[in-house]
Amino acid sequence: MKPIAVLLAGLIMAPACAAAIPEKMDITEMANCTAAAMKSGDRALWNEWLAGLKKRYALVYPAKSAAEIEQYAIGRVQDKRKRLQGMGIDSTSANRDYLAKNCKS
């Protein structure tokens, strides 16, 4: 598993785009959206989605430490990244399109 610094190294700094993460979004879809945000080129957006996902996992797994939650969240995001790539969603613009279509309230 790659450390988060390696994952973030590929992100391009872009203007922040505030995302309203839907409160009732399914946790699996939230991981998909976090994976798309990772490759969207917007670091602030990625951080927002990752923080939301970690918060949700912390509710599901209250016995896990913050470090374990971080590791688990990154692992799930990497899995979802591979899934999106398999669907042909690999470019920055394709990931932004995925976010716009699937990750809004």
The tens digit of pLDDT for each residue in 81-93 reads 999 999 999 999 9
Helices (H), 1-105: 4-9, 27-38, 43-60, 66-86, 92-102
Mean pLDDT, consecutive 10-residue stretches, the chain (105 aa), reads 45 44 90 96 94 95 97 97 96 95 84
Which pLDDT does position 75 carry in this prediction?
97
Contact 72, 57 (CB under 8 A): yes
Report the predicted TM-score, pTM, of the whole model to 2 decimal places.
Answer: 0.78
Q: What residues does each domain of the chain span?
A: 26-102
Q: Which two tokens stand for residue 104?
A: 């809004």
User: Quick one: pLDDT at residue 105?
Assistant: 57
* Spatial distance between the Cα atoms of 85 and 16, rounded to a whole number of angstroms: 24
Q: Which residues contact 61 (CB under 8 A, 6 or more apart)?
A: 68, 69, 72
Phi, psi of 16 (to 5 degrees): -65, 140
Quick one: pLDDT at residue 70? Answer: 97
